[in-house]
Amino acid sequence: MKFRLERDVLADAVAWTARTLPSRPTVPVLAGLRLDASDGTVTFSSFDYEVSGRVSVEGEVADPGTALISGKLLADIARSLPAKPVEFSADSSKVVITCGSARFTLVTLPVEEYPELPQLPSASGTVDGTTFAEAVGQVAVAAGRDDMLPTLTGIRIEIDGETVTLGATDRYRLAVREITWNPVRPDLTGVALVPARTLVDAAKTLASAGDVTLALGGESDDSLIGLAGGGRHTTSRLIDGEWVPNYRRLFPTEIATVARIEIDSLVDSVKRVALVAERNTPVRLAFGDGQLVLEAGSGEDAQASEALPAQVDGPGIATGFNPSYLLDGLQALGTPFVHMSFTDTPMKPVVIQGIDSLEGEPSSGYRYLAMPIRLSS
Amino acid sequence: MNGASDAAGMADMVGTAGMTSTTSASNANRGNGTSVWDAVVGQPIVPALQQTVADASASLDGAPSGSMTHAWLFTGPPGSGRSVAAKAFAAALQCDSGGCGTCAECTDVRNGTHPDVAALVTEGLSIKISQVRELVPKAALRPARGRWQIVIVEDADRLGEDAADALLLSVEEPPDRTVWMLCAPTAEDIAPTIRSRCRVVQLRTPPSDAVATYLSTTEGIDKRTATFAARAAQGHIGRARALATDENARSRREEVLKLPFALDDLRQCLDAAASLVDAAKADAERHCDALDAREVDELKRALGAESTGRKPRNMDAAVKELEREQKLRRTRVQRDSIDRALIDVLALYRDVLMLQLGVRTELINDEMRASLDRLARNSRAESTLRRMEAIGQAREALMANAAPLLTLESMALTLREG
């Protein structure tokens, strides 16, 4: 095997494929990165039985072939090479990398023991990479982080014709985002539960690729999800099991009070007041009369309070939230103002949505629902 | 008392099979794979499991699940092949034709590279909660190859209380396609909360002749050696394999069996205890030194050592962690080696007791009949029983982390007194 690549192309390709490699592989070969050179194309691939990554780039291939070498090391090397063409040449036991006057010799791993990468399922449609990455990032904040409750560590992707609905929850909050996309068939439907960490990472690294292809396989092969864009392909195993059944019904329909507030100042205030909120105690919010009063701490302990201007429509309401859950939602909105809607009881969840102006109505497809903490008074 | 559980998994590992994947693969391959069930020796329950595999296969096509369920507990005495049976069951469930032994599914399960079969094997003394935390998310995955997502926990009796709790939720309500398989000597070794969720598959000690036949047909060992090994191993397949194939294991056993004949004074008793501990250390060195070095080597190579120019990041941490695990394994190998020796001595006194009571039954150590006769004549059945009791107590004490040398010295003194 012998080929030559531009340094930047190599560094990009290797950094992307090597990012999912385990630092302590269960089987030694899984720490490897596979190189395939043929016909003017060099392909880099990685796989850990759960996530696979593959990227193809153009290169001058003098001698086609295959080799498996330590991925993390190659990534380190590729990053630090001078900006000159990089030449790879391999014999049966070694790969020699030459770049300018730098020269590295890497031991190869047994490529014949390397597992076969899963095929990308058949394409379901395409979505704008930036929109998708934004949407995934917005819902991921609500995904559970407790590995002992695996179904909640996933992001649910639901496809219904031209709408893709992403959802995540950890039982205390629920984030849902709807986006439109171009399905291969207008009547396409499907549901998949994808590990949140994997999806966030994949979506982020594909964001700049323009159109991203989503591949859910449909009925025939529903064991994997595939994402592809800009020459990069990635697949991930799916989580099995029941997600929140009928989650749409969790959003209250009877809205009594709506508050509109500027996000930046609200975020700052919550952070400040939360400084005295002990673990698992709420930041209390009292809405009414053109202002919002935030309070935290109680009794003998440290206390804080702060008032903010707010546009409140409807009867005043006092409720409390875990400050970090509140902040997660507010910071995911990506708009200058927040639209918070309450029912007539402080025990029901708040729904947070983004608005562009204090007079605006929420339009983007993102909704963040947070459960209140019962106030002890 | 299930002190014997120790020797179970480890004898397989330390013997010739499990430790290196290449050996175990080639061993299994030699069977020419008419079926994955060939490796399950002398177990009348196999047809029932095969029926379950058929039911399970039908349920994938929408039929009722029949005898298939989502959590299984394989129990049986050490050496009965609990994890072998669980693996065979796993392969049969993944295989299109019920465990042909030759297709990619069967081969991958055997080699431990099947994406839908996760196995938790502990080489240490207990299963850590962190290991369970890594396993639970795997149990929640949808099968990548479309049949079942299988999670095997070998040595589930080594689950600590908190590790068992961590496992409970997932064993209780796994996704539709997930199957848990736990292995333990007896159902009582598993927390009742988990046990009650499992269907128990009870294995028995395979009869000696079944083990002998297995060794000679599957592993190509000559009939005489196979018969001797099967009898001496008392139905423990892994141990029988070791005795049949490993000269060293045989001579170690011979040494151990000399012990009851050399307990004349205090000095000899202390020497005997010391020699058992030393031999265990030597065993551990023999089994672990090369293996440890090779594992470190493989890990380093995978992370890119030996290459010129740059030292890979994270390598030291990864190697340190591996070495920590290896140290635990060494402790366990030593402990298991002592336990195995004690079982051999126990079997010898059992033979003596049989002679003293005039029971006409096959002697485990038939080849040393003359010496056994002598021992039987020179003592009474009561003292033989007391000696056996002392060995049992020593095994239990060792299980409970007692200092090996002290325990064995005390045992040797009781053996002398009778």
For residue A74, the chain B residues in CB contact (below 8 A) are 304
CA distance B294 to chain A (A): 12
Nearest to B154 by CA among B69, B74, B256: B74
User: Mapping DSSP to helix (H, G, I), strand (E, B) and coil, where does residue B201 land?
Assistant: strand
Q: How far apart are the first and last CA of chain A?
A: 74
Contact flag A106-B302 (C-beta cutoff 8 Å): no
Measured in degrees and rounded to the nearest 5, phi and psi for residue A318 equal: -120, 130
Which residue in the block uniquely carries the two structure tokens 């060099």?
A42
Would you say domain A2-113 falls under CATH 3.10.150.10? yes
Residue B79 pLDDT: 83
User: Token pair 């939360």 is at which residue?
Assistant: A274
Element (H, E) at B50: helix B46-60
CA distances from A188 to A124, A156, A159, A219, A308 (A): 8, 16, 7, 11, 46
Antiparallel, parallel or unpaired: β A311-313 and A257-262: antiparallel
Cβ neighbors of B108 (< 8 A, separation 6 or more) are B94, B114, B115, B117
Query: Is B142 in contact with B177 (CB distance < 8 Å)?
Result: yes
In 3D space, the residue among A225, A200, A222 whose CA is nearest the CA of residue A214 turns out to be A225
Q: What is the spatial distance between Cα B312 and Cα A80, in angstroms, rounded to a whole number?
A: 13
Question: Could B141 and A25 be called an inter-chain contact, meaning their C-beta atoms sit closer than 8 Å?
Answer: no
Please indicate whether, in this complex, the C-beta atoms of B318 and A24 are within 8 angstroms of each other.
yes
Q: What share of chain B is helix, strand, coil (3-state, %, to 5)?
A: 65, 5, 30
Residue B348 half-sphere exposure toward CB, CA atoms < 13 A: 27
- Mutate: best of A223, A225, A243, partner B, most B CBs <10 A: A223
Answer whether A27 touches B (CB < 8 Å).
Answer: yes
Please name the member of A28, A148, A240 whose beta carbon is closest to the beta carbon of B166: A148
- Residue A294, classified by CB atoms within 10 Å of its CB into exposed (0-12), middle (13-18) or buried (19+), is buried
* Amino acid residing at B50: Q
Which residues on neighbouring strands pair with residue A95, listed in sequence order?
Answer: A90, A106
* Rounded Cα distance, B337 and B158, in Å: 18
What pLDDT is stored for residue B307 in this prediction? 62
- The domain boundary residue, chosen from B160, B185, B202: B202
Residues B193 and B285 occupy one common structural domain:
no
Instruction: Please name every residue paired with A214 in a beta bridge, in sequence order, or none if there are none.
Output: A125, A227
Residue spans per domain, chain A = 2-113, 125-248, 251-370
Q: Does residue B36 sit in the same domain as residue B185?
A: yes
Average pLDDT over chain B reads 85
User: Which CATH architecture fits A251-370?
Assistant: Roll (3.10)
Interface touch A70/B115, C-beta < 8 Å? no
For B7, the token pair is 């020797």
As a whole number of Å, the end-to-end CA separation of chain B is 22
Residues 53-112 of A with CB under 8 A from B: 69-70, 72-74, 76-77, 80, 102-107, 109
A227 and chain B: CB distance < 8 Å anywhere?
Answer: no
Mutate: best of A46, A69, A73, partner B, most B CBs <10 A:
A73
State pLDDT tens for residues B251-300: 889 888 988 888 888 899 999 999 999 989 988 888 888 888 888 888 88
Rounded distance between C-alpha atoms, residue B170 and residue B70, angstroms: 10
Q: Chain A: nearest CA to B115, how far in angstroms?
A: 6
Q: Is residue B59 part of a domain?
A: yes
Tell me which CATH homologous superfamily contains domain A125-248. Answer: DNA Polymerase III, subunit A, domain 2 (3.10.150.10)
Does residue B246 lie in a domain region?
no
Q: Does residue B123 lie in a domain region?
A: yes
Cβ separation of B302 and A223 shorter than 8 Å?
A: no
Q: How many residues does chain B have?
A: 418
Instruction: Give the pLDDT mean for B57-63.
Output: 89
Buried b (16+ CB within 10 A) or exposed e, B262-301: ebeeeeebebbbebbbebbbebbeebbeebbeebbebbbb
What confidence tier does B248 reach under pLDDT thresholds 50, 70, 90?
Answer: confident
- pLDDT bin (cut points 50, 70, 90) of residue B310 is low
Q: Which residues in chain B touch residue A31, judged by CB atoms under 8 angstroms apart? A: 302-303
In terms of CA atoms, which chain B residue is nearest residue A107? B307
Report phi then psi at A350, rounded to 5: -95, 145
Judge if B62 and B139 occupy the same domain.
yes
If interface means Cβ-Cβ distance under 8 Å, which residues of chain B face chain A?
Answer: 112-113, 115, 133-134, 136-137, 139-146, 149, 166, 169-170, 174-178, 298-299, 301-310, 312-314, 317-318, 321-322
- Whether residues B370 and B298 fall in one domain: yes
Same domain, B381 and B293: yes
H helices then E strands: how many in chain A? 6, 27
Regarding predicted confidence, which is higher, B74 or B220? B74
In this prediction, residue A220 carries a pLDDT of 55
Phi/psi region, residue B235 (left: phi>0; alpha: psi -120 to 50; beta: rest), is left
Q: Percent of chain B scored above 70 by pLDDT?
A: 90
Residue of higher predicted confidence among B21 and A377: A377
Tell me: do B197 and B270 sit in the same domain.
Answer: no
Q: Please give the residue range of the domain that contains residue B316.
A: 266-417
- Res. B152: pLDDT tops 70: yes
Q: Measured between alpha carbons, how far is B39 from B236 in angstroms, rounded to an integer?
A: 13
Task: For CA atoms A329, A334, A336, A341, give the dihedral sign.
Answer: negative
Q: How many other C-beta atoms can be found within 10 angstroms of the C-beta atom of residue B56?
A: 22
- Taking CB atoms within 8 Å and a gap of at least 24, the contacts of A196-201 are A196/A140, A196/A143, A196/A153, A196/A154, A196/A155, A196/A168, A197/A153, A198/A20, A198/A50, A198/A51, A198/A236, A199/A136, A199/A140, A199/A155, A199/A236, A200/A136, A200/A137, A200/A140, A200/A155, A201/A19, A201/A20
pLDDT at residue B263 in the model: 87
**Same domain (yes/no): B392, B294:** yes
CB contact under 8 A, B136 and A223: no
Q: Report the C-alpha gap between A304 and A307 in whole angstroms.
A: 11
Residue from A43, A46, A196 nearest A204 by CA: A196
The last residue of one of the domains, among B202, B234, B258, is B202
Please name which of A128, A117, A142 lies closest in space to residue A213, comparing C-alpha atoms.
A128
Taking residue A170's Cβ as centre, other Cβ atoms within 10 Å add up to 18
Question: Are A194 and B140 spatial neighbours (Cβ–Cβ below 8 Å)?
Answer: no
C-alpha distance from A2 to closest chain B C-alpha (Å): 18
Checking ipTM against 0.95, whether it exceeds it is no
Given B157, B183, B202, which residue is the final one in a domain? B202
Q: How many of the other CB atoms lie within 10 Å of CB of A87? A: 17
The pLDDT score that the predictor gives to residue A364 is 72
Mutate to test the interface with A, among B141, B147, B306 (most CBs of A within 10 A): B141
Fold agreement (A2-113, A251-370): yes
Nearest partner of A119 among A203, A52, A190, A199, judged by Cα: A52
CATH number, domain containing residue B24: 3.40.50.300
The predicted-structure confidence for B357-402, as pLDDT tens digits, reads as follows 988 888 888 888 899 999 899 889 999 999 999 999 999 999 888 9
Contact A70, A97 (CB under 8 A): no
Task: Decide if B104 is inside a domain.
Answer: yes
Whether B321 sits inside 8 A of A24 (CB atoms) is yes
- In this complex, do A69 and B304 lie within 8 Å of one another by their Cβ atoms? yes
Sheet holding A366-370, edge to edge: A189-195, A154-160, A163-169, A173-180, A366-370, A350-355, A337-342, A257-262, A311-313
Which residues of chain B have a CB within 8 Å of the CB of A50?
Answer: 115, 141
Interface test with A, best of B111, B294, B307, B316 (most A CBs within 10 A): B307
Q: Tokens 């106030």 belong to which residue?
A: A375
In a domain, B398, yes or no: yes
Name every chain B residue with its beta carbon within 8 A of the beta carbon of A77.
Answer: 309-310
Q: Would you say residue B332 lies in a domain?
A: yes
Contact predicate B5/B190, CB 8 Å: no
Q: What is the mean pLDDT of each run of 10 residues along chain A (377 residues)?
A: 94 92 82 93 92 94 93 90 93 90 90 86 92 96 92 94 95 95 92 94 91 80 86 92 87 93 96 90 92 90 93 94 95 95 91 93 90 79
Residue B225 and residue B213 in contact, taking contact as beta carbons nearer than 8 Å = no
If phi > 0 it is left, if psi is from -120 to 50 it is alpha, else beta; for residue A5 that is beta
Q: What is the pLDDT of residue B332?
A: 86
Return the pLDDT at B367. Answer: 85
Residue B368 lies in a domain: yes
Q: What domain count does chain B have?
A: 2
